Amino acid sequence: MNIAQIIAHRDAGVVTCRADHSVAEAVALLRAHQIGAMPVVDETGAVQGIFSERDVIRCLDELGADALSAPVSDAMTSPPVTASPQMSEPEALGLMTMRRIRHLPVVENGRMIDFVSIGDLVKAHIDQIEQEASEMRNYIRSA
């Protein structure tokens, strides 16, 4: 299974922010949408970085209370690690494990088309295993 198959039936709404937003504005978006990370995009839709809860903690440690007024560009993880729609689910999981990250922007022709989490990939993997087990049980019953 590849990333395109995983995202094929999902709502295309991805919460994003801009590099010139303040950390406080970005934190408010994370909280309002109950998410742990979001891509930072420019006006063309190109991904400039990822802003996550980990980035907030690091920024607070470095800047103290001034972190909230800092621009997201000072706190985000950049350059972003991205995936293509053709990347397989095992490749994406391996990349996330190797790079110690939990989110991947899915990029095609220089533009982000979706955003996947490690949870999305694990769920797809489990669903595939359950489908194969069900097919195997049905095959055994019909024999």
Mean pLDDT across the stretch 113-126? 91
Give the global pTM: 0.84
CA distances from 140 to 35, 127, 132, 134 (A): 42, 20, 12, 10
In the prediction, which pLDDT does 82 show? 95
3-state secondary structure of 120: helix
Domain residue spans of the chain: 3-142
Provide the CATH topology of domain 3-142: CBS-domain (3.10.580)
Mean pLDDT across the stretch 61-85? 95
Instruction: Name the token pair of 133.
Output: 């087990």
In the prediction, which pLDDT does 53 show? 95
**Predicted confidence band at 44 (pLDDT cuts at 50, 70, 90)?**
confident
**Predicted confidence band at 12 (pLDDT cuts at 50, 70, 90)?**
low
Mean pLDDT across the stretch 5-19? 88
In the prediction, which pLDDT does 124 show? 87
Instruction: Name the token pair of 55.
Output: 């980035």
